[in-house]
Amino acid sequence: MLALALSALLAAPVARPLLVTVDDLPISGALHPAAGERRRITDGLLAALARHHVPAVGLVTWGNVVDPRDPALLEAWLTAGHELGSHADHHLNLTRTDAGTWLADVEAGRAQLDAFLRARGRGLRFFRFPFLNEGDTEAKLDAARAWLAARGLRNLTVTIDDQDWSFERPWVEARRSGDEAALAGLRDDYLAALRLSVRHHEASGDRLLGRPAPQLLLLHANQVGAENWDRLFLWLEQTGHRFATADEVLADPVFAELPRLPASHGFSLWDRLATVQREHDARAQVLRLLEAQSAAWTRGDLEAFCSAYAEDATFVSPSGVVHGREQVLERYRRRYPGRDAMGALTLELVELRSAWGTEVSLLDDAVPSRVHSVSVVARWTLKRAGQPDASGLTLIVLRPRGGDSWQIVQDASM
């Protein structure tokens, strides 16, 4: 009997650690100005967390502290054993704000929460980027990271990004008008949307890491959450999750160094890592293509050299513009009749940039696109017997052909 129980225990899958994080404390949005309602929502959120023994991190948007009784709401989170991190003062979008204004706002939010925590013998460890937006340029990314480092704060990333907040307004309106049918439908949709987000992002993380990835779930401090988290947490328990502390989840090596990815929108960490990987792959594939082209040229195989061009490629040189792969091949044949005239080609990379953007998922989440194009600046050199070296610059634009292969759509050689 004992042996049977033990073997069943050993066979049971290990529960996946998941950290619940709650944004925009004390109350998300402007739908609940009344102090009593703010208290009721807070109590509802904390009751659901307590019922399922969830140790959460709440991220405080200090600008949401609007009522004299709001600090008591934050205190209730601490008393219940949760940790508080900073989520700026006014939740500015770093893409739409200059770095100086944004830094002043996050610093104001940090300073006020830090003072609040110090007065209660607590420390501040975490910062959550508003809109998960870490900076759309290298300069903003660096400025934000330098501020975090100077303040000893850790970027509390998100792995399960979702749109839970978008259910708040319809939920509150249905609740206020007593529309039970609407509430039932919204509850189904809220839970279904969260289940889809959890499943989608967990599959992405597991694929990237090659193992069950620990997760950081993003939720918001709102009424739809207060009235539905019980069901959500129950489902998470039933699907092999274990509510873990920040320290346990963040100890996983995948969180040790977060990827640098300038982006106009905020994404889940798994989307960021996948994008960095896709850019890396695209770069390697394009460099391989250019190497193969140099080799084809050097062995005198103009046909193979030109096979890298798209059928409708545009080739620009000081002698004019040529359209189409066939015409590009013709031009080369005229100018380089035979292998001796061609010589040995080397391409030296000067710069490579990849272009990708933002798409919108079925659940209305911003998600990174595939790499849509790569542009390369390179110096070309021709070594030919009995002649001085010829050299110049080229700007090549490539598009994915499907799979791992790329083709040149524009080439400006000078």
Counting every residue written for the chain, the total comes to: 414
Query: Which residue's C-beta sits nearest to Zn ion?
Result: 23
Please check whether residue 114 is in contact with residue 85, taking contact to mean a CB–CB distance below 8 angstroms: no
Nearest distance, CB of residue 68 and Zn ion, angstroms? 23
Q: How far is CA 150 from CA 110, 125, 147, in A?
A: 12, 12, 5
**Which of 84, 69, 77 is CA-nearest to residue 50?**
77
Span of 18-26, 95-103, 302-310, 315-323 interacting with Zn ion by CB under 5 A: 18-26
Please check whether residue 136 is in contact with residue 264, taking contact to mean a CB–CB distance below 8 angstroms: yes
Span of 15-23, 50-58, 140-148, 326-334 interacting with Zn ion by CB under 5 A: 15-23
Distance CA 325, CA 319 (A): 17
Q: Calculate ∠ Cα 83-93-23, nearest 5°.
A: 25
Distance CA 80, CA 110 (A): 22
**Which of 292, 303, 398 is CA-nearest to residue 345?**
292
For Zn ion, the binding residues in 221-250 under the rule CB under 5 A are none
Span of 24-32, 166-174, 257-265, 372-380 interacting with Zn ion by CB under 5 A: 24-32
* Complex with Zn ion: residue 158 or 347, whichever CB lies closer: 158
Nearest distance, CB of residue 179 and Zn ion, angstroms? 28
Nearest distance, CB of residue 362 and Zn ion, angstroms? 22
Instruction: Pick one of 19, 22, 23, 143: the residue that binds Zn ion (CB under 5 A).
Output: 23
Span of 2-10, 19-27, 273-281, 357-365 interacting with Zn ion by CB under 5 A: 19-27
* Complex with Zn ion: residue 92 or 397, whichever CB lies closer: 92
168 binds Zn ion (CB under 5 A): no
Nearest distance, CB of residue 109 and Zn ion, angstroms? 11
Nearest distance, CB of residue 165 and Zn ion, angstroms? 8
Q: Is residue 72 classed as helix, strand or coil in its secondary structure?
A: helix
* Complex with Zn ion: residue 133 or 354, whichever CB lies closer: 133
* Complex with Zn ion: residue 24 or 168, whichever CB lies closer: 24
> Residue 196 is encoded by which pair of tokens?
């889809």
* Complex with Zn ion: residue 59 or 213, whichever CB lies closer: 59
Q: State the number of binding residues for Zn ion (CB under 5 A).
A: 2
For Zn ion, the binding residues in 344-373 under the rule CB under 5 A are none
* Complex with Zn ion: residue 24 or 279, whichever CB lies closer: 24
Interacting residues of 112 by C-beta distance below 8 A, sequence separation 6+: 62, 65, 89
Burial 369-407 (b: 16+ CB within 10 A, else e): eebebbebebebbbeeeeeeeeeeebbbbbebeeeeebb
Nearest distance, CB of residue 91 and Zn ion, angstroms? 6
Nearest distance, CB of residue 222 and Zn ion, angstroms? 11
24 binds Zn ion (CB under 5 A): yes
Nearest distance, CB of residue 363 and Zn ion, angstroms? 17
Nearest distance, CB of residue 105 and Zn ion, angstroms? 13
Distance CA 324, CA 113 (A): 62
Span of 23-31, 271-279, 339-347, 368-376 interacting with Zn ion by CB under 5 A: 23-31
Distance CA 352, CA 286 (A): 9
Q: How far is CA 345 from CA 372, 394, 405, in A?
A: 28, 13, 22
161 binds Zn ion (CB under 5 A): no
* Complex with Zn ion: residue 127 or 356, whichever CB lies closer: 127
DSSP 214: P
Distance CA 227, CA 45 (A): 8
Span of 16-24, 75-83, 115-123, 235-243 interacting with Zn ion by CB under 5 A: 16-24
Please check whether residue 302 is in contact with residue 336, taking contact to mean a CB–CB distance below 8 angstroms: yes
Nearest distance, CB of residue 293 and Zn ion, angstroms? 48
> Given the rule CB under 5 A, which residues bind Zn ion?
23-24
